[in-house]
Amino acid sequence: MLKGNVVLVAALLLFEVSLFVTGFIDEDDDHRVLVDNKCKCIKVTSRFVPSEENPNEKVLERNIEIRIPLNSRINISDPTSPLRTNFVYDLSKLCQKCNAEEIYIGGEPVMAAQGTCSSDSSEDPCYTYNRNKCYTWGVPFTSKGKTIMKRAALNPESCYEYQHHLKQGSKFQVPNY
């Protein structure tokens, strides 16, 4: 019976040590962030890992993390629009690098960018609020029998800077969506 307990303890100890070691191996892996798009709620990373067929060879592994905002509206700046049920992700568009970068061709520095970049974002909707942007919506306000439209913040924490600028008399403008 004592021999059985020793074997059990040795097996548990070996199992815990293997968990401890594998936990630290993952921290040393070099994950490279390719896309971290807060508007689309998507993050794409890549890293090189040993191949399952040939451990001496490394293969590229891509990790795609998509966060689905549950109460997202079709038009995020309109609280009366229906809930969004369709989320479209075009990875080739998300992974584009539109900023020109300096590369070397034949030892000479050259500025290069992808030629298919488009600055038209109207066809590419946001699925959640940009935390750095102040979204407003027109709300009817009735006082003394008169109804006027006032702008109300949909995400007040991002509109603090707007209110701060108004107090100081600057010409900071809140975009109308």
Instruction: Identify the pLDDT of residue 118.
Output: 59
Q: What percent of the chain has pLDDT over 70?
A: 58
Instruction: Identify the pLDDT of residue 91.
Output: 79
User: Is pLDDT larger for residue 35 or for residue 57?
Assistant: 57
Instruction: Identify the pLDDT of residue 57.
Output: 93
Residue type, 92: S
Confidence of residue 13 (pLDDT cuts 50, 70, 90): very low
State pLDDT tens for residues 117-132. Answer: 655 555 667 777 766 6
Residue 165 above 50 pLDDT?
no
Mean pLDDT, residues 49-73:
88
134, with CB counted inside 10 A (0-12, 13-18, 19+), is buried
Instruction: Identify the pLDDT of residue 38.
Output: 80
Would you list the domain boundaries of the chain?
29-113+123-128, 129-177
Report the range of poorest mean pLDDT among 38-47, 78-87, 101-110, 155-164.
155-164
